[in-house]
Chain A
Amino acid sequence: MSLNTKIDTETIERISGVNTRKCMKCGKCSATCPAFHEMDFHPHQFVAMVEKGDIEPLMKSKSIWNCLTCFACVQRCPRDVEPAKLVEAIRQAVIRQAGENHLKAEQIPEMLDSELPQQAIVSAFRKYKK
């Protein structure tokens, strides 16, 4: 995956609408994250690293694809920082630069499963389309 333009804190904060300076570094997001052990960078690190401008490692991390977008971190954060939105923003940044779709709209019908919650389909489409 090539990273053409430098993505900075401001860009990620603009895409996500998150103010990372609100974080008081309590770690509640990582404590509550069900996918914690699947991640190389953890939710609290996303907040700290975006604040620091350390975004490239996050873009290369597998965390952004392992995040379930379950919003537990958003729900529990005492200071309304919303780490999941940061993960989503970095995902967006990567996809926009990668220039290819992982999932096309026409592929969805054959993947449909009545057991699968709709939210998951929308989330997957958001994650894997361009």
Chain B
Amino acid sequence: MQVNETNTVNTEEKEFTPLIVAFCCNWCSYAGADLAGSSRLSYPANVKIIRVPCSCRVNPLFILRAFQRGADGVILCGCHPGDCHYSTGNYYARRRMTLLFSMLDYLGIEKGRTRVEWVSAAEGAKFSATMNDFAATIHKLGPNRKLRDLRCEK
């Protein structure tokens, strides 16, 4: 019985490809993602990037919406502290996300499913490594079932 259960879990995990939404600021992280691309540093295809002018443009509602619509993980990438194109935008993002993520944790969305990373325009390798690591973490956590809008399920 126990053996069977483990097997089922394993097969399920193999089939599971997590859906990851990445919000990237236009000046640093989106450029970092471009550099990862031109350096041919691969990361999983299920990471989909949305371009925003600055990490501070990311409304917590966007992240809630992503989870509602079936995302398994959401990552927010911005310029390193002190390097924000708009001087202070990433500081706002950092504070907002700290609050949001702890609330999401309380709601049952594990801390590992949400992340803020600083990736500069020169850090293509870091972008790729971060995405690989994040995808692996989400894969380990399995599909997200919390906050999901069941009306969207097929």
Asked whether the complex places CB atoms of A and B closer than 8 A, the reply is: no
Give the A-binding residues of B (Cβ under 8 A).
none
Give the B-binding residues of A (Cβ under 8 A).
none
